[in-house]
Structure 1
Amino acid sequence: MNKIYERYVGVLVLLPIFILIFIGGQYLKFLTLILSLIGLYEFYTILKAKNYHTFNIVSYAFTIIYFLTSKNLSTDKFLLILIAFVAICLSIPVFNLKHNFIEAALTIFGFLYVTLMFSLIPKIEAKDFGNYFVWLVFISSWGSDTFAYYFGRIFGRNKLCPKVSPKKTVEGAIGGLIGSILGCLLYGIIIYKFGVHINLYNYLIIGLIGGILSQIGDLSASIIKRYLEVKDYGKIIPGHGGILDRFDSILFVSSVVYFYLTFVVGL
């Protein structure tokens, strides 16, 4: 299949995802549950390349439980679910010697990396003006990716992390920060006119931290794939790879937006 044609097909696959994000509510929650399950499957599948056999069913089950109960989930109940999940994962190698504690740790990491980070997206949307704020996650990530790509192509001279991602440059990384900041700031100015009245400097800070974490998310995914000697996490999106290939930076930015709005803005 022609690569350009593949990418257009990939955009058509992604389109329903962004429609559901726009609709929000229970549709967004259901979407992020499905994305979490697919992302977990992709992550655990590529681990088999190094002969790690994770406890997939346990992780899938707790992901479903977590999403179904997360609406009114207190911190104590969340910790109870997390502790139960960790305890079960750590007990499996004790009773089944075919497994080891590295596999338990990787299973737990997958849950934290994929499920918990995806779950922050509907949590952002559930906040006051969350239907506006949820788009900061994508604007920061897209702005960073787009500006990093073009700044890297035009100005790129100095390699950023040649052993992890040979094509990335320092100039591209700086461009990524600029793109994220400008995107978030412009969006903040626009939604201010719709009654979302928080100080504009908050968007600048979210854009800055989001731009940094977006690129760290991308590099983290690259180093995992490089270690496991795979090109992509999956092939579910033609021309784009898997869910985790498209959402690697978005997952990291979701944590920035959620925790900033919660602990700094106070929403």
Structure 2
Amino acid sequence: MKQRVITGTLAGAFYLALLWIGSIPFALLAAAIAVISYLELAEMNKLSAYSPEVLTGALAVAVIVCGEWISPTIFHFIWPKLIVFLALLFVSFNVVTKNRFSFARSAYLFLAVFYISIPFQLLVRIRFDSLALALFVQIIIWTTDSGAYFVGRKLGKNKLAPYISPNKTREGSIGAVIAALLVAALFQLIIGSHLLFGSWLMLFAVALLISLFGQLGDLVESAIKRFYDVKDSGTILPGHGGMLDRFDSLIFVLPLLYVLGFIG
């Protein structure tokens, strides 16, 4: 527990400092986290991080995340071409490697590239648009994680998804939502009269979505880890696991908020 607290405090402070600074430093941090998360996802499927196929995907992740601040106009123009080119490139590796790198693995890496890169690109985008919005999303996710953990430990009796994540409970999930709504109200009061989403009702609706789908994102990653029989996605954060373990909720939440129109 001590190691977990120390790692969480130091890593969290560093992340928040660059989030506050924004601009290129935060974009580079987001790209680094995205690439590491992608490599962790690849290694779960026994794909070497140093293989040409995986490195190709890592490069694509970095380009997609950073493309928003390098040149949004050019990036939006080449975006569809990048998707097509990457799909063709991955399946071409089947021939080059004489099917050592299979079509199934091509599909896995292709999905992994966009599953990881799009949320972090959105994170960079919303930070460029609004520090308050970026902080709100991140704080609600962290509050949800903490609420689920502490309420679950204290009151948890009924399992939420025992075949996927045996330690999660329904009581913890409910506690996480309540904590998220309370912190959302406190956050809005702190930042003042400017309402993040136009009304208090919308603020609570967005906080509810973040909390619920953040928990779903956590369960999705747990399901992936259980399928590949791994405990943590990585070891880069002592006491916490990998980057994917720390950002699984955000990876799920940001695309949802984008689809629903809450972020642009």
TM-score by length of 2: 0.88
Question: What letter matches 2:92 in structure 1?
Answer: S
Contact 1:124–1:258 under 8 Å retained in 2:
no
CA deviations on 1:92-124 (whole Å, 9 max, x unpaired) are 214432111110011012112211112211111
The aligned length equals 258
- 1:185 aligned residue: 185
Displacement after TM superposition at 1:258 (Å): 4.1
> CA–CA distance in 2 between the matches of 1:264 and 1:194?
16
> CA–CA distance in 2 between the matches of 1:70 and 1:197?
23
Matches within 5 A, 1:200-211: 200-211=200-211
Residue among 52, 56, 59 paired with 1:58: 56
Instruction: Report the CA distance shift for 1:115/1:24 in structure 2 as closer, same or farther (over 3 A).
Output: same
Matches within 5 A, 1:114-129: 114-127=116-129
> CA–CA distance in 1 between the matches of 2:96 and 2:47?
24
Contact 1:39–1:243 under 8 Å retained in 2:
yes
Structure 1 residue 67 corresponds to structure 2 residue 69: no
Instruction: Report the CA distance shift for 1:153/1:25 in structure 2 as closer, same or farther (over 3 A).
Output: same
Report the more deviating stretch, 86-95 or 232-241.
Answer: 86-95
- 1:31 aligned residue: 29
Matches within 5 A, 1:49-198: 55-71=53-69, 72-73=72-73, 75-96=76-97, 97-127=99-129, 130-193=130-193, 198=198
Structural RMSD (CA)? 2.4
Displacement after TM superposition at 1:264 (Å): 4.7
Give 3-state SS (helix, strand or coil) of 1:163's partner.
Answer: coil
Unmatched 5+ stretches in structure 1: none
CA deviations on 1:225-255 (whole Å, 9 max, x unpaired) are 1111111111111111111111111222233
Instruction: Report the CA distance shift for 1:114/1:36 in structure 2 as closer, same or farther (over 3 A).
Output: same
TM-score by length of 1: 0.87
- 2:19 aligned residue: 21
Instruction: Report the CA distance shift for 1:153/1:65 in structure 2 as closer, same or farther (over 3 A).
Output: closer
Percent of aligned positions that are identical: 28
Contact 1:140–1:253 under 8 Å retained in 2:
no
Instruction: Report the CA distance shift for 1:132/1:150 in structure 2 as closer, same or farther (over 3 A).
Output: same
> CA–CA distance in 1 between the matches of 2:21 and 2:256?
22
- 1:40 aligned residue: 38
Unmatched 5+ stretches in structure 2: none
Displacement after TM superposition at 1:8 (Å): 1.0
